[in-house]
Amino acid sequence: MHVANSCADAGRSGSEVFTLPHDRRGDDPGRYDVTMDPTVELIDLLGASRVHTHPVDRIIYAKDSGVTAGDPAVIVLPDTTEEVAAVVRIASRAGIPIVARGAGTGLAGGAVPAPGSIVIVLTRLNAIEEVDEIGRTAWVGPGVVNLDLSRALADRGLHFAPDPASQQSSTIGGNVGTNAGGPHCLAEGTTAAHILGVEMVTADGDVVIVGGEAPDEPGYDLRGLIVGSEGTLGIVTRVLVRLIQNPPDVVTMLLVFENIHQAAQTVSDIVATGLVPAALEMMDQPMIVAVENFMHAGLPTDAGAVLIAEVVGHPAGTVVEAALIEEIGRRNDAREIRTAADDDERALLWKGRKNAFGSIAQSAPDYYLSDTVVPRTRFVDVLDEIYAIAERDGLRLMNVFHAGDGNFHPLVTFDASEPGMSEKVINAAHDMVHAAVAAGGTLSGEHGIGLEKRDLMHLVFTPEDLDAQARIRDAFDPEGSLNPGKILPAGARLTEERDA
């Protein structure tokens, strides 16, 4: 997104006063004099080529793919776990917050740096290690690109199941941080179901491993806490991933409808039969037009909606499941049902779907993408509310959905240079989240909370729930130095008086 960034005082040198939040868990900002400038020590550790303080570098790393920007002081690119730990110890001594970052594809502001922070970029930790074909596991670096992992394992008949739309550029570490999903997580589960353990650097610079290859590790499930914690509990430096065997047969179908209600009802009817396809992905007409203009994937631009359905397994089973989907589609007035004839046609359909967000560049200079989940029984109702909100505010809305698991991705295109437009769009997006939560849904299916939904956490959590989460965070990071200001809103930790 090309939203004007807020890198205030971008020309400030690394040796001047660092700006830090007063309470780095998210309370009122203040100004702190940091007595030790860490830049020289960081250069001694990593070399000048891997330590960046130039204003241009700081602007580049000031934001992820969301709409919010921060103001980092230093950007470092370590090569090893030991270097990450050493950077953390340097930052701890100087009292400087730390923000871990991967490829910067996040959409909720999870990697937006706190003012005056050190950004630790993990993309150079990109080795694929210790692949166990029998146990179907592998230790990989957080900088491994999602799609590169599956490509590297293709000749072994294995793949990493989570496949976010950004999988051509997003990294495993980022997937772990947000508990990323993807089209094929309907049947196989989100990232949390495919992470067995992590090596991470703690807030005081120790290196620990949580989880492991055992199917049921004794004790508390710390691995489950780390996945989805957005770098607030530790910095992940290696990941033990679970691998999935490639299916013997794949059938990919495109169902074309005159309106989006027919497509949505088809999804509900498919799931109601008990069938869980590998994927059920939907796009509305504005998104179809954008994708087709960009990708030329063969999508009908006059359709009200399209549904991509995929089933995998033994050929005898996929034939039956594909026939059932076709029957349900016909019952809901699908005007066309097309089955991919070969791998090339299948790949083109998926290329169109996974490049949906990239196609927006031809439509407007900026976009805001939200991410909520609703019960499948309320899918059509909430969809109508989302369209009504956009129409109310005169906004151009495009929709793409992980329809099978009720995961909405309403996308508003706009021009941020128009006065007041950014605020208008964000307010409308928040109204869409409210609609989803009111229908029994939740804030996010895969993008995480970050900055952009932090102050909406009260919609789904009580003060006591938030306090419990804040206590967990305090146990891992008492000083609040790891990715401060993310996930938990200001005041999440109840006061001692209220505890009493």
Q: Which of 313, 338, 363 is the last residue of a domain?
A: 363
Q: Which of 199, 215, 245 is the last residue of a domain?
A: 245
Q: 216 pLDDT band (50/70/90 cuts)?
A: confident
Same structural domain, 76 and 22: yes
Q: What percent of the chain has pLDDT over 70?
A: 92
In a domain, 397, yes or no: yes
Same structural domain, 170 and 69: no
Residues near 423 by beta carbon (within 8 Å), at least 6 away in sequence:
none
In a domain, 403, yes or no: yes
Same structural domain, 235 and 259: no
Same structural domain, 177 and 104: no
d(CA 436, CA 299): 29
Q: Mean pLDDT, to the nearest integer, of 253-265?
A: 95
Same structural domain, 442 and 468: no
Residue 350, domain CATH: 3.30.70.2190
d(CA 87, CA 354): 36
In a domain, 456, yes or no: no
Q: Which of 423, 447, 471 is the last residue of a domain?
A: 447
Task: DSSP letter for 362, please.
Answer: G
Q: 500 pLDDT band (50/70/90 cuts)?
A: very low
In a domain, 453, yes or no: no
Same structural domain, 141 and 230: yes
pLDDT of residue 419: 95
Q: Looking at the 3D structure of the chain, how many domains does it have?
A: 4
- Using an 8 Å Cβ cutoff, are 123 and 146 in contact? no
- Here the tokens at position 473 are 């965070």
Q: Mean pLDDT, to the nearest integer, of 384-406?
A: 94
Number of H helices, E strands in the chain: 15, 21
In a domain, 293, yes or no: yes
Residue 222, domain CATH: 3.30.465.10
Same structural domain, 6 and 119: yes
Q: Per-residue pLDDT tens for 160-175? A: 999 998 999 999 999 9
d(CA 77, CA 43): 11
In a domain, 454, yes or no: no
Residue 468, domain CATH: 3.30.43.10
Q: 499 pLDDT band (50/70/90 cuts)?
A: very low
Same structural domain, 344 and 271: yes
Residue whose C-alpha is closest to residue 427's, from 363, 381, 370, 387: 370
In a domain, 37, yes or no: yes
pLDDT of residue 496: 53
Same structural domain, 215 and 326: no
Q: What percent of the chain has pLDDT over 90?
A: 81
Domain that includes residue 424, residue range = 364-447
Q: Per-residue pLDDT tens for 21-44? A: 333 334 433 333 444 689 999 999
Residue 416, domain CATH: 3.30.70.2740
pLDDT of residue 361: 79
pLDDT of residue 36: 63
- Here the tokens at position 108 are 């909720």
Same structural domain, 85 and 166: no
d(CA 500, CA 489): 22
In a domain, 336, yes or no: yes
Residue whose C-alpha is closest to residue 97's, from 63, 73, 67: 73
Same structural domain, 133 and 211: yes
Q: What is the pTM of this model?
A: 0.89
pLDDT of residue 433: 96
d(CA 76, CA 267): 46
**What pairing do the DSSP bridges indicate for beta strands 137-140 and 396-402?**
unpaired
pLDDT of residue 206: 98
Same structural domain, 497 and 441: no
Name the region of 296 (left: φ>0; alpha: ψ -120 to 50; beta: rest).
Answer: left
